Amino acid sequence: MFHVIIAEDDFRVAQIHEEFISQIEGLELAGKARDAEETMALLAAHEVDLVLLDVYMPDQLGTELLHRIREQYPLVDIIMITAAKDKAFLEKALSYGVHDYLIKPVTIEQFHNSLTRYKKKKELLNSTDEINSTMLHQVFGEAPKKKSGKSLPTGIDARTLEKIIELLETEAEGITSELAGERIGASRTTARRYLEYLVGIDEAKVEQVYGIVGRPERRYYTQ
């Protein structure tokens, strides 16, 4: 279970984010803060894994609060959720190692994808004391390396393959070829060809599950 703080001065937005968190398995709200001082107080009072941090707060900019959090709680992770579009804020957030930077208004899909990616990376890192190339690919989202120096086979386009890989990485519950095709603007047959290719090179796994009216379907997951 990952414990989350919402640092947001607008109580309506904070309530929406709280509802979003409640829909993601494995996440639990540790508290809500309306300003920087309340954020620091919650960090002191609770075991916290992640802070959802706004930039514009009444007493201190969230980007300025980053230094205090990193200094006192270096292992706490941060995702910025803000209306701020100033590039300087993004650059500062990146320099402090934030996991993501979301621009308001945030849809439930964007929120879910961001926190699911976060949770997946943390679970992956917590699962082992050693790293390998597959883990690095999942953590940093690198493009897959070509096997043995060989080019991609006929019918597999590099850009489409990249889209399929990105899609798999955001779908923690797996995805069918039909839904994958809809997401990338391709046919079910095309999506399945790419998904099966990834299974064949051990970049994805597949399970047979039962969908509507007991009809079996293949659901794909990232390795």
Q: By C-alpha distance, which of 198, 117, 205 is closest to 158?
A: 198
Q: Taking CA 106 as the corner, what is the angle to CA 25 and CA 28, rounded to the nearest 5 degrees?
A: 25
Domain end (from 58, 93, 126): 126
Mean pLDDT, all residues of the chain: 87
**Which whole number is the average pLDDT over 61-88?**
92
Same domain, 31 and 114: yes
Inside any domain, residue 91 = yes
Same domain for 36 and 92, yes or no, is yes
Residue 147: what pLDDT?
45
Q: What is the pLDDT of residue 142?
A: 52
Q: Is residue 132 part of a domain?
A: no
Q: Which of 126, 151, 177 is the last residue of a domain?
A: 126
Residue in the structure block whose two tokens are 């701020």? 84
pLDDT band (50, 70, 90) for residue 69: very high
Instruction: Provide the pLDDT for residue 169.
Output: 86
Region 18-23: mean pLDDT is 94
Dihedral angle, C-alpha 130, 134, 135, 137, nearest 10 °: 140
Do 118 and 149 reside in the same domain of the chain? Answer: no
**Which CATH number goes with the domain that contains 144?**
1.10.10.10
pLDDT of residue 102: 94
Q: Are residues 210 and 120 in the same domain?
A: no
Count up the domains in the chain and report the number.
2
How many other C-beta atoms can be found within 10 angstroms of the C-beta atom of residue 43? 21
**119 and 179 within one domain:** no
The verdict on 6 and 95 lying in the same domain is yes
Range of the domain at 190: 140-222
Tell me if 1 sits within 8 A of 26, measured CB to CB: yes
Q: Are 183 and 177 in contact (CB under 8 A)?
A: no
CATH number reported for the structural domain that contains residue 85 in this entry: 3.40.50.2300
Q: What is the pLDDT of residues 85-123, one digit of tens each?
A: 889 989 999 999 999 999 998 989 899 999 998 998 888
pLDDT at 123: 86
Whether 69 is in a domain gets the answer yes
| Domain end call among 126, 153, 176 | 126
59 and 95 co-located in one domain: yes
Same domain? 115 vs 24: yes
